[in-house]
Structure 1
Amino acid sequence: MSGFDTAEHPHRRFNALKGEWILVSPHRSKRPWQGQQEAPEQEHRPAYDPGCYLCPGNTRANGEINPAYDATFVFTNDFAALQEKVPMGSINEGGLLRAEAESGICRVICFSPRHDLTLPEMTTPAIRKVVDLWVEEFRTLGTRPDINYVQIFENKGQMMGCSNPHPHGQIWAQRTVPMEPAKEGEQQLAYFQEHQRTLLSAYLALELEKQERVVLENEHFVVLVPYWAMWPFETLLIARRPVQDITQLTDEEREALADILRRLTIRYDNLFQISFPYSAGLHQRPTDGQEHPEWHLHMHFFPPLLRSATVRKFMVGYEMLGDPQRDITPEFSAGRLRDMSEVHYKQAAV
């Protein structure tokens, strides 16, 4: 078809990291919205909340008292989705009714003793302490013989189901490899076996050459809106050096990771001048004792907001029954984020 333009016409894009397709409908981005509008979250929180289960010195729901921590704090989740000691067993009825026991451990990481901060409002040295704790936890949990995958993640904001506004993330470490990293692992392995380089190394080289989806970068990391982005302002943070997991980062690379996390999340907050909600997490090699040269450390950010602080994207209907779909193009989203200041809007107003 002559005149085909991905900025104007509906088309499919291939997600090379998962082996799936997404429908892009840029012509729909101007449609009027009469659907649900979200109420922005309360921005004003105290530095310390005596009723918060995560603040220093407070009593948690299980009766334990938090230490008077002054940086980061990690503990085993009081209401964990996984348990360490589970009787091993399985069910298989004709290959259709299948179940198997799953064991693991869930940890909570408090990013700061301050109840009123989030990552973009923290200093780079403070975020570096979070990165160092991620490294320590991945190394400790990943060496356990009963743990084959360690998932580090953060849910930020009520819109993403965060049950406590205190700045924190989670780690779920388990016996099996979850479906999302398993799919990525299959695609990365197939590419590595054919090309003898990581899939994300090749992809990053293409994106750096084109520049149209690159949001920001430093010496060791690049943040871009992936070609196959599903969420409106989704980003992918990729290590320039193809390390398999976060423990392989040098001291300088850890510092660079803290730097780019702060700069990215500030841009997110500045987009609609709110504490920008998202789910984010690191994807790295399984901890099954095998070599995984195909794996390339990266981090996903999945924010739900679409047009404003009050209009979000819903994954419903066709997206549940067919393929993921988006209206605004990844190139447009990258341009919006690229144009954002790296001075947080709260500081700019001072």
Structure 2
Amino acid sequence: MGTPFDPTNDPHRRYNPLLGEWVLVSPHRAKRPWQGQSEEPNNEQKPGYDPTCYLCPSNTRVNGEVNPQYTGTFVFENDFAALKKDTEVKSEKNGLFQFETEQGCSRVICFSPDHSKTLPELTDQERSDVVACWKEQTRELGASYRWVQVFENKGAMMGCSNPHPHGQVWAQQHLPSDPAKKLLQLKQYFSENHTPILLDYAEQEIAKDERVVCKNDDWVVVVPYWAAWPFETLLLPRFDVQSMHHLNDAQSTALAQILGDITSRYDNLFETSFPYSMGWHSAPFDNEEHPHWTLHAHFFPPLLRSASVRKFMVGYEMMAEAQRDLTPEQAADRLKALSNVHYKQRENTNG
């Protein structure tokens, strides 16, 4: 007779209902000694203005354009855009060989003129300005493109090539692969239950309170039950909304506040500028109603054990399915135990 199953120590799989995929959880592996690659922690104190930074106000970018002396958010067309507006519309299928061209645009969103600040170090008002910019970009680009992807890659570990606080917005005519999977899953759940899956999920997580990291009257941040990355979180509204640009002023203000909360906790976890990829999923812009869809954001941070040890999605993850060494409940406990006051602010106060 085997020993009773212990979810905090025994391998098991968890189902991700948003993508229709599974995640292997192997919590016993967290006890193994680490002899792999270690990264240098990002604790560099950056200046408020860097004359060599192509995103700082008044500086010249690589294409020769000069940035304005902006004081809030600043948006411009990416100088190395992944998508082009005028690509010829063409598709071809020949046996197993198939392609279709894609039209779209890529923009950069500078969160602040201050080179030294990241999202958790901005004020609530400054983060509200970022939210307002996300809303405006979503509204504008959604009028021309089917999919609008707002996202931020923070830190060199996540491929960010410039430390100035910024994100991006890409828009395209076709629905990308993950949102297409998600659309099918959300529609199926709605047809069976007549309620949006993410609204039901948010209510169930709040009721259980096992994986809730932080919340306010309008928003909740959880480590999802099916999380793949070590300290992955899901940011959900507690009200019915399909797209970023549909948020009212009060909901936007509450969003700015909870963004400061979760990103401060991330930085506080290992007292470093915590790297992550974060992105928003609004409903597709296709002139159809999407009552099954709920606006939401994913945070995918790579750090695992410390500021210098990261999770690699390789081998089994690339060949089979996602795998994690820390249970979502353990990750949530660590995040919610942290202060939502940024560690640099505490150091300044104590100093």
Unaligned residue ranges in structure 1 (runs of 5+):
none
**Per-residue CA distance 1:101-139 (angstroms, 9 max, x = gap):** 101010100000000000010000000000001000100
CA deviation after TM superposition for structure 1 residue 248, in Å: 1.4
CA deviation after TM superposition for structure 1 residue 41, in Å: 2.3
**Per-residue CA distance 1:282-341 (angstroms, 9 max, x = gap):** 011001111111100110000000000000000000101111000110000000000011
Is 1:248 the counterpart of 2:249? The answer is no
Give the number of aligned pairs. 347
Alignment-derived partner of residue 176 in structure 1: 174
Please tell me the residue identity of whatever aligns with 1:130: V
* 3-state SS of paired residue (1:66): coil
TM-score normalised to structure 2 length = 0.98
Alignment-derived partner of residue 76 in structure 1: 77
Please tell me the residue identity of whatever aligns with 2:151: F
Please tell me the residue identity of whatever aligns with 1:77: N
* Percent identity between the two aligned chains: 58
Unaligned residue ranges in structure 2 (runs of 5+):
none
Alignment-derived partner of residue 203 in structure 1: 201
CA deviation after TM superposition for structure 1 residue 43, in Å: 1.8
* 3-state SS of paired residue (1:206): helix
In 2, distance between residues paired with 1:85 and 1:288?
20
Alignment-derived partner of residue 39 in structure 1: 40
- The alignment yields a C-alpha RMSD, in angstroms, of 0.9
Alignment-derived partner of residue 130 in structure 2: 130
Alignment-derived partner of residue 117 in structure 2: 117
| Segments ≥4 residues shifted beyond 4 Å | none
In 1, distance between residues paired with 2:48 and 2:237?
34
* 3-state SS of paired residue (2:309): coil
In 1, distance between residues paired with 2:199 and 2:341?
30
**CA contact 2:43–2:273 (8 Å) conserved in 1:** no
Alignment-derived partner of residue 326 in structure 1: 324
Alignment-derived partner of residue 347 in structure 1: 345
* 3-state SS of paired residue (2:239): coil
Please tell me the residue identity of whatever aligns with 2:314: V
Alignment-derived partner of residue 143 in structure 1: 143
Pairing 1:91-106 to 2, within 5 Å after superposition: 91-94=92-95, 96-106=96-106
Aligned match for 1:226, one of 224, 227, 240: 224
TM-score normalised to structure 1 length = 0.98
**CA contact 2:149–2:281 (8 Å) conserved in 1:** yes
In 1, distance between residues paired with 2:113 and 2:333?
35
Alignment-derived partner of residue 267 in structure 1: 265
CA deviation after TM superposition for structure 1 residue 2, in Å: 6.3
Is 1:338 the counterpart of 2:339? The answer is no
In 2, distance between residues paired with 1:86 and 1:298?
30
Alignment-derived partner of residue 108 in structure 1: 108
In 1, distance between residues paired with 2:202 and 2:345?
33
Alignment-derived partner of residue 11 in structure 2: 10
Alignment-derived partner of residue 62 in structure 2: 61
**CA contact 2:223–2:231 (8 Å) conserved in 1:** yes
Of stretches 229-238 and 1-10 in structure 1, the one that deviates more from structure 2 is 1-10
In 1, distance between residues paired with 2:46 and 2:129?
23
